[in-house]
Amino acid sequence: MTTPPIRFTLDASVVMNAFNPAEAGHAISLQLQTAIQSQAIEVIVPTLLLTEVAATIGRVLGDAPGARDFAMHLSRLPYLRFASLTRPLALEAANLAADYRLRGADAVYVAVARQFGTTLVTLDDQQRTRAAASISTCTPAEALEELVPPTP
């Protein structure tokens, strides 16, 4: 019996955490994304990720060109697979939002992870704990341990 390949859905919180060295946990999120890329691990994210990262950079840093460039760069990363927010996926996210009292965008990430059978990696404690009844969830540190076991 073979183990299924590791696949993740990264929440925008993790992507932005890796981008911003001033944030707590930055090094772990960056190491995780580096390990994902070097091991060619598939990451499935909603197309919403591009909007969320651009909005965060534009709003927090006031850097519209940088926000657009960062979103474009993300859209071209070979290990990211983008899931469109179709009507069925949106309805699934709506049900998850209602059932687990999730914010709208958070429910979209949960719906993507559920649809594709991935583990949701997030820094949002509420999203992680509430979604755990429906999907596999973890923090960036836990995901990194799965990819790079600690040396004795």
CB 45 within 8 A of CB 105: no
Q: What is the pLDDT of residues 21-47, one digit of tens each?
A: 999 999 999 999 999 999 989 999 999
Q: So what's the pLDDT on residue 148?
A: 80
Q: What is the pLDDT of residues 132-149, one digit of tens each?
A: 999 999 999 999 999 886
d(CA 142, CA 146) in angstroms, rounded, equals 6
List the chain domain ranges.
7-147
Q: What is the pLDDT of residues 41-63, one digit of tens each?
A: 999 999 999 999 999 999 998 99
Residue with tokens 């019996």: 1
For 28-52, give the secondary structure using H, E and C. Answer: HHHHHHHHHHHCCCEEEEECHHHHH
Architecture in CATH for domain 7-147: 3-Layer(aba) Sandwich (3.40)
Confidence band (pLDDT; 50, 70, 90) for 87?
very high
pTM summary value? 0.93
Tallying the residues shown for the chain, one arrives at 152
Q: What single-letter amino acid sits at 56?
A: T
Q: So what's the pLDDT on residue 1?
A: 55
pLDDT surpassing 60 at residue 113: yes
